[in-house]
Every structure is written in C-alpha cells, then in structure tokens.
Amino acid sequence: MGSKVIKIDIKEGMPPTDVAIFNLEKEILFAKLEGIRVIKVIHGYGSSGKGGSIKIAARQFLKTQKRLGNIKDYVPGEGWSNHKVKPMGLLEDAPELLLNSDGESFNLGVTIIIL
C-alpha cells in the first residue's frame, strides 16, 4: 500500500466540466481500491473569469457522494486548517496532511476528500 494521501488535478488541461467530474469519480474509485485515505483535489477557483464551473460541480458531486455514503466527508480548501480538521480525526488517519503547505491557509482552488 502506498501513501495514505494523494493529490489529483482535475483542472489540468482545462477539460470540460463533465470530463473533470468523470475523472474525479474515476480517481476516487482507484484510490479506494489502493487503500488511499485522503485525496487532495485541485479544481481551481475560477480565476480565469469563467466562474469556476469545475469547482462548483466537484463540490456538488462530493456532496452527493457523501450523502450516498461513497465518501466519508470532504473539506473545502477555504475551510481547511489543521485546527479545524483535528476534531474530525483526519490528522490521526493521515498525518501527512500536517506537512501540507496549505495547512494553515485558505485555498479556494482545492478540496480535501476523506475516503
């Protein structure tokens, strides 16, 4: 088994939103098969002036996946801080996140998924 945390960039190459979400779904399935516990998803935040459609769709997709029980939870980058996620037990499951360069800052362009 590899790392408990992986990083994926679903905005790489600026795909259409539906392709980005398909890729996210596929990466979640592969991560679960590999025993990954946490995914850091880079989806961007709409800085190009196009509204951040991948971010919006990704968050909606994750909300549905959580409701269906396919993921445990997700933490938007703007809600991320090591202090906020400690009560979730996330850092105990994946202490690698303590080394996260975004650990003490807001990042609108990422979301952390807990599998």
Q: pLDDT tens for the chain, 115 residues: list them.
A: 455 889 999 999 989 999 999 999 999 999 999 999 889 999 988 765 555 899 999 999 999 999 999 999 898 887 766 555 554 555 565 656 655 554 445 678 889 898 8
Q: Edge-to-edge, what's the strand order for the sheet holding 73-76?
A: 5-9, 38-42, 110-114, 73-76
Output the pTM of the full model.
Answer: 0.79
Q: Which two tokens stand for residue 19?
A: 């392709």
**What CA–CA distance (Å, rounded) separates 98 from 88?**
14
pLDDT number for residue 60: 97
Residue type for 27, please?
E
**What CA–CA distance (Å, rounded) separates 52 from 59?**
11
Q: Could you give the domains of the chain?
A: 5-114 (3.30.1370.110)
**Residue where the block lists tokens 């408990």:** 4
